[in-house]
Amino acid sequence: MPVATIAGADVAIDAEGFMTDSEQWTEEVGVFLAEQIGVELSERHWEVIRFVREDYKAQGETPTLRRVSTIGGVPTKELFQLFPKKPAKKMSYVAGVPKPKGCV
Amino acid sequence: MKRLLILGAGTAGTMVANKLRPRLDEREWNITIVDQNETHYYQPGFLFLPFGGYTREELERPKRNFMPAGVDLVMGEIDLVEADDNQVKLVDGTVLQYDYLVIASGTSPRPDETPGLDGDEWYKTVFDFYTIDGAEALAHKLETWEGGRLALNVIEMPIKCPVAPLEFLFLAEAFFAERGMADVVELVYVTPLADAFTKPVAARYLGDMLKDRKIALETDFMLEQVDSENHKLISYDEREVEYDLLVTIPVNMGADFVQRSGLGDELNHVPVDKHNFLSTQYDNIFALGDAAALPTSKAGSVAHFAVELFTENFLDYIEGLPMREQFDGHANCFIESGRGKGMLIDFNYDTEPLPGKYPLPGIGPFSLLTETEANHWGKVMFKWMYWNILLPGRQMPLPALMSMAGKIQEEVG
């Protein structure tokens, strides 16, 4: 398992760069990860990130776009504006939770 | 008298009633099952209907025919589960008490969830095939369709029977080729997934099959709306796909009463323990079949394997014993590939579909992830088995848990 040093801390990541231990995440790490994918974080981004992290902690699974829009209250259209092209992947990347599994 | 109440007399609910009635003493246990429709449809048959494969009559049976003696079938629409009071209210005012509740009310396509989908063009140039009406309307359309661009669009996962969209495309390609229309029909598969299927090894096999058939693939397409007047699919990231004929797999959602009762997730599916189907909220409520929010396919085969394990667990559970059986997410699905052939996939929560033989290692008679005529006949025969063995709760000669025997592991390249 590769380890990256982000904001002075060692962070475990997978082959695609997704964090594998969400406990290692800090807001500084989030800012750094967002920069990697060219996203500048606004307060609205933080709302999404906080929801994704809380929901992951409660459910044990990375939330889907529908879950973030229905339960988290941020419409899908807006998620595409905040995290262009691939919001499901990008928001979980920045929030330090596992890559969404897709479906079955 | 103890009361087991089952909501939904579809595949899962009917099997539960049939499995448990002979094993729960009639002097001690009442079993009641509620449904709002009299007709049971053989849903795997809907896929063949648009291509003239079955008629409506071949795919329907009265639900009552599958209810064993000693089970009360109540016809009515469910209004609310009042879980804190252990009772269910029907729309007509009837109140049904329970000691244990099984929610088996399935999941269904919701075209009204997507702007522009079920407007003026519904059943004119826009069709679904996961309902008997949609499949039949599409069959009439295809009889006279002169060709053009047929887009098949999965709107959002999860859906019932996640292989059916691919099967539809394989069957459509064969259907148009047989009619000499290969040159005038263009097929395109528009999916929110990053690939042809969800699991890597199977996605590679199935992706190659699409290529061989010259079926175009448009991935990562999250549909926002349909411009049905101008025949266009429009995604959230503002891509457009044009079509002449749209076959859609709408958003699938569980029953509304699940949501109203506070028992559902964001798609009205019931969160449960994925190994024993017990509700995460109430220790006397289970959810089985498509109604449950499980990380495996929504399919009859899953319901079948799940109900077998549930039956044994339930008999222990009501005696206060721990549930010993642990469901592994086992699913197996025949995949029709056209021209009298089919494939088979067999997988669970942890193991993706792999090539090999099933159910007997090295022998089969079915081949995993490989197109054969035997697999096609397996699918054809399954209809008889469904009505005569599966629904009545008789034993199928297949293990409920997945086995690695006969499977060939390969590297994902």
List phi, psi (to 5°) of B161. Answer: 45, 75
Cα distance between residue B275 and residue B124, in whole Å: 44
In the structure encoding, which two tokens stand for residue B213, read together? 């058939």
* pLDDT beyond 90 at B217: yes
pLDDT tens figures, B281-330: 999 999 999 999 998 999 999 999 999 999 999 999 999 999 998 999 99
Q: Tell me how close the Cα of B197 comes to any Cα of chain A, in angstroms.
A: 9
Identify whether A70 is part of a domain.
Answer: yes
Q: Which two tokens stand for residue B351?
A: 């193991």
Q: Which residues pair with B292 in a beta bridge?
A: B270
Calpha distance B246→B159 (Å, rounded): 17
Q: For chain B, give me the number of helices (H) and strands (E)?
A: 7, 26
CATH superfamily placement of domain B111-249: FAD/NAD(P)-binding domain (3.50.50.60)
What pLDDT does B167 receive? 96
The residue-averaged pLDDT of B205-225 equals: 95
* Rg, C-alpha atoms of chain A: 13
Residue B60 burial by CB count (10 A; 0-12/13-18/19+): exposed, middle or buried? middle
Q: Do A77 and B236 touch (CB under 8 A)?
A: yes
Q: Are the beta carbons of B224 and A104 separated by less than 8 Å?
A: no
pLDDT of residue A103: 54
Q: Which of B222, B273, B274, B350 to mutate to test the interface with A (most CBs of A within 10 A)?
A: B222
- On the question of a cis peptide bond just before residue B162, with omega within 30 degrees of 0, the verdict is no
Residues B156, A80: C-beta atoms closer than 8 Å: no
SS (H, E, C) B304-330: HHHHHHHHHHHHHHCCCCCCCCCCCCC
- B413 pLDDT band (50/70/90 cuts)? very low
What is the residue-level pLDDT of chain A in tens, covering all 104 positions? 678 888 777 889 888 889 999 999 999 999 999 999 999 999 999 999 999 999 999 988 899 999 999 999 999 999 999 999 899 999 999 999 998 876 54
Closest CB from B237, B265, B295 relative to A104: B295
Average pLDDT, chain B: 95
Are both B2-106+255-317 and B111-249 of the same fold?
A: yes
Q: Is the peptide bond before A2 cis (omega within 30 degrees of 0)?
A: no
What is the residue range of A86's domain?
A: 3-95
- 10 Å CB burial of residue A6 (0-12, 13-18, 19+) is buried
H or E, element range at A45? helix A43-59
By the 10 Å C-beta count (0-12 exposed, 13-18 middle, 19+ buried), A36 is classed as: exposed
Distance from CA of A32 to the nearest CA of B (A): 25
Q: In chain B, where are the structural domains located?
A: 2-106+255-317, 111-249, 331-390
Report the residue of chain A nearest B349, measured CA to CA: A104
Mean pLDDT, residues B212-241: 96
Mean pLDDT computed over B204-232? 95
- Helix (H/G/I), strand (E/B), else coil: B79: strand
What is the model's pLDDT at position A102?
A: 63
Set A1, A58, A103, A104: catalytic member: A103
Which pLDDT does position A3 carry in this prediction?
83
Partnered with residue B278 across adjacent β-strands are B286
Q: Tokens 């669970």 belong to which residue? A: B348
pLDDT of residue A1: 63
In a domain, A68, yes or no: yes
Q: Note the pTM of the prediction, 2 decimals.
A: 0.94
Beta bridge partners of B242: B232
CATH for the stretch B2-106+255-317 = 3.50.50.60
Beta strands in B165-220 (DSSP E): 185-190, 216-218
Q: Give the tens place of pLDDT for each residue, B45-60.
A: 999 999 999 999 999 9
* Residues in a beta bridge with B346: B332
- What integer pLDDT is reported at residue A6 of this predicted model? 81
Give tens-digit pLDDT for B90-126. Answer: 999 999 999 999 999 999 999 999 999 999 999 999 9
Q: What is the mean pLDDT of residues B24-49?
A: 97
Question: Percent of chain B having pLDDT more than 70?
Answer: 99
This model of the complex carries an ipTM of 0.85
Cα(B103)–Cα(B119) distance, integer angstroms: 32
A62 in a structural domain: yes
Q: Is A49 a catalytic residue?
A: no
User: How many domains does chain A contain in total?
Assistant: 1
